[in-house]
Amino acid sequence: MTQKVPLGHINFTLASATEAPHNLIKAAVGLKENGMAVNFANAYTIALARADESYRQVLNMSAFVFADGRPVAWMSRLLHRAPHLHQVRGPEFFRDVFRIAESGDIRHYLLGSTPDVLEKLVSNLKRDFPHAAIVGSYSPPFRSMTQEELAAQDSAIESSGANVVWVGLGTPKQDLEVARLASSLPVVAVAIGAAFDFSAGTKREAPRWLSPLGLEWTFRLITEPRRLWKRYLFGNIGFVKACIEQKLKREVSGRA
């Protein structure tokens, strides 16, 4: 049983960047009948969860919620004496699972993005991890799917024999989808965010030296300002508010 650390209304999984991929691989190989949901939460995710109780519940029902963002790890150290969260970067985690399990029993299915991105992604993954088992991929329509379409999608995933389904649909849509998949199929469904675009080479990843500084988000904002400015402005404000609320709640509980 993995240890959980609460931060900003979300129960995060306590795991290092090295431990996290092994946790997923072990879970996928040992999976029997019930599926499992895996999520990555950053400051924006915490802000959304603060404002939406149903979304918060979806995240807190997941088997693993990893801290995808240096500010989340820093805030954990500020609010908790111990244990402290470690940053687990989604794109790096994605590649680590492919690398570690390349010759193992993991069968990957890629769900999300556009057909062009998926084609480039599969090509790059087969180049970098030639022994990895990629058993299928699908780019769903950019609209709400009918029940018949969802059933057909799930049937294709199940028929592929996949035990890990990587979902790249953007937050919060991908988080809702992995919860649905985990309740429908015996798979580990992982909401992996921008990892598809980074590994496909269709979007630039932030320089590695920005990660220890907690400034990866500034690089993404600079490269996609029109799409992301509201996300980071209001997301960062909501993140700070959620953490302050947690701190005040702990202080009140401590005095009670």
pLDDT score at 77: 84
| Dist. CA 231–CA 193, nearest whole Å | 14
pLDDT interval class at 214 (50, 70, 90) = low
What is the reported pTM? Answer: 0.87
Helices (H), the chain: 19-29, 43-51, 53-60, 70-79, 90-100, 115-128, 147-160, 173-184, 195-200, 216-223, 225-255
Chain position carrying tokens 């988080």: 175
More confident residue, 75 or 98: 98
The predicted model gives 2-13 an average pLDDT of 90
- Please write the tens of the pLDDT for every residue from 108-157: 999 999 999 999 999 999 999 999 999 999 999 988 899 999 999 999 99
Q: How many domains does the chain divide into?
A: 1
Question: What is the per-residue pLDDT for 8?
Answer: 84
Q: For residue 101, what are the domain limits?
A: 4-255
